[in-house]
């Protein structure tokens, strides 16, 4: 197991802040949520998951709301006291009925919620997050978020949700603590001789594996402006800033991701999150997957399928906007199928899931 960084866990890495003692999600917050019991049991086997419900606040035009869009958001935004059915009828009246088959993010939002909510909560945030007009983005990005006509403000709809008591890195250390696994940190894939190995499972960027020979796949990266505060800075873990004239997308206050210990810290550590295009030296976070990138991806997939000693996995290896649970489920499936293929003497494919889907 090679990792070019000096620590395990990639962008899930957590470590305690030396000054305050707060557990930091070093590369931005990671909240574990899944409906997949097998994945949940797997993670819990390697570390205790503590109950955590993600309740996000949003600031738009100088007012605070709750996300995802729910009955409280709607009532506060429009200054109403709607019941669920009244709110449904009201929003249906706001929604753009002429958009029957939404082709992009903007059309999806307008057809569900109408112009006012779209402008207040989605347009500015999405422009900042993705750096393009929401008309250029796939509708699937918005489908990540629910709209609720009740007061449930749990950001995720999944059955299991939590954050590891000792952080993600501790879980990954335990997964790798096995006699047959040799771990090398600070080790770049480019510096080993791949022919020394029977097969490689590659979770770096698929275009990097091929030395970017066809060009670079586009990503967004995040810059974090870390700052400390005394006591409690914002009273919650995540506040989104939806307006375009605020340059950051959100502020996260890390001790609130660990409510079981938050009160024990007198100081607090926060990150202001800025999104930008990912340069050659930056850490890739979000695959963009617009039309041009998908074309390039198809060419890299062809190159990959022509290899016989490497399998590509994960968010970077398959260039998809995957959550942690899906990444783990796919890795488990890859491990099972690899075992079976090896037993029957067959080749291991470059992909277990088609990245172009």
In the residue annotation, 119 being an active-site residue is answered as: no
- Least distance from ligand UDP to the Cβ atom of residue 219, Å: 13
Task: Report CA 252 to chain centroid distance, whole Å.
Answer: 14
The reply to whether 132 sits near ligand UDP by the rule CB under 6 A is no
Cα 223 to Cα 219: distance, rounded to the nearest angstrom: 13
- List 3, 106, 148, 253, catalytic entry: 148
- E-strand stretches of the chain: 2-3, 14-16, 23-25, 32-34, 49-51, 57-60, 63-66, 160-164, 184-185, 200-202, 219-230, 238-241, 250-253, 267-277, 286-287, 310-312
Q: Is residue 320 annotated as a catalytic residue, yes or no? A: no
x-or-dash string of contact with ligand UDP, 112-131, rule CB under 6 A? ---------xx--xx--x--
Q: Is 173 a catalytic residue?
A: no
DSSP code for 218: P
125 or 149: CB nearest ligand UDP: 125
240 lines the binding site for ligand UDP (CB under 6 A): yes
Nearer to ligand UDP, 144 or 295 (CB): 144
Is 119 or 267 the residue whose CB approaches ligand UDP more closely?
119
CA-nearest of 158, 109, 99, 113 to 138 is 109
Residue 259 beta carbon to ligand UDP: minimum distance, rounded to whole angstroms:
19
Our answer to whether residue 148 is catalytic in this structure is yes
In sequence order, the 6+-apart residues with CB closer than 8 A to the CB of 143 are 108
The partner residues of 66 in beta bridges, in order of sequence, read 57
Q: Which entry of 107, 153, 253, 273 is annotated as an active-site residue?
A: 273
Q: Which of 211, 210, 202 is nearest to 306 (CA)?
A: 210
**Closest distance of CB 92 from ligand UDP, Å:** 21
> Is 104 a binder of ligand UDP (CB under 6 A)?
no
With tokens 């489920």, the residue in question is 329
- Per-residue binding string, ligand UDP, 133-152, x by CB under 6 A, is --------xx-xx-------
Of 317, 319, 327, 324, give the one whose Cα is nearest residue 286: 319
Side-chain-side CA neighbours of residue 226 (13 Å): 13
Q: Which of 152, 232, 282, 323 is catalytic?
A: 323
> Mind telling me the catalytic residues?
144, 148, 220, 250, 273, 321, 323
What residues make contact with ligand UDP under the rule CB under 6 A?
A: 58, 67, 121-122, 125-126, 129, 141-142, 144-145, 240, 242
């Amino acid at each position: 197991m090679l990792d070019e960084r000096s620590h395990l866990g990639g962008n899930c890495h957590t470590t305690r802040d030396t000054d305050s003692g707060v557990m930091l999600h070093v590369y931005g917050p990671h909240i574990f949520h899944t409906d997949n019991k097998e994945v949940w049991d797997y993670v819990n086997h390697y570390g205790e998951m503590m109950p955590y419900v993600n309740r996000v606040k949003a600031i738009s035009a100088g007012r605070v709301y709750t996300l995802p869009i729910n009955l409280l958001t709607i009532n506060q935004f429009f200054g109403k006291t709607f019941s669920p059915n009244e709110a449904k009828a009201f929003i249906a009246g706001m929604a753009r009925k002429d958009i029957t088959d939404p082709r992009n993010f903007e059309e999806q939002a307008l057809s569900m919620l109408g112009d006012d909510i779209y402008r207040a909560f989605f347009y500015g945030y999405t422009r900042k997050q993705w750096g393009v007009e929401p008309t250029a983005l796939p509708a699937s990005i918005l489908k990540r978020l629910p709209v609720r006509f009740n007061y449930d403000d749990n950001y995720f709809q999944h059955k299991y949700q939590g954050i590891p008591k000792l952080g993600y890195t501790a879980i990954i250390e335990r997964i790798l603590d096995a006699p047959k696994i040799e771990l090398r940190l600070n080790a770049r894939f480019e510096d080993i001789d791949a022919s020394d190995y029977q097969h490689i499972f590659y979770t770096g960027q698929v275009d990097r594996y091929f030395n970017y020979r066809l060009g670079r796949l586009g990503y967004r990266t995040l810059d974090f402006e870390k700052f400390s505060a005394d006591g409690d800075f914002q009273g919650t873990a995540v506040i989104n800033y939806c307006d375009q004239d605020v340059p950051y997308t959100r502020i996260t206050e890390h001790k609130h991701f660990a409510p079981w210990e938050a009160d024990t810290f007198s100081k607090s550590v926060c990150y202001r999150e800025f999104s930008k295009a990912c340069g050659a030296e930056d850490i890739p976070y979000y695959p963009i997957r617009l039309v041009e990138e998908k074309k390039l991806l198809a060419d890299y997939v062809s190159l990959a399928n022509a290899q016989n000693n490497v399998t590509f996995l994960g968010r970077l290896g398959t260039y998809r906007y995957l959550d942690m649970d899906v990444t783990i489920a796919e890795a488990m499936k890859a491990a099972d199928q690899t075992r079976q293929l090896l037993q029957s003497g067959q080749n291991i494919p470059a992909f277990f899931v088609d990245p172009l889907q």
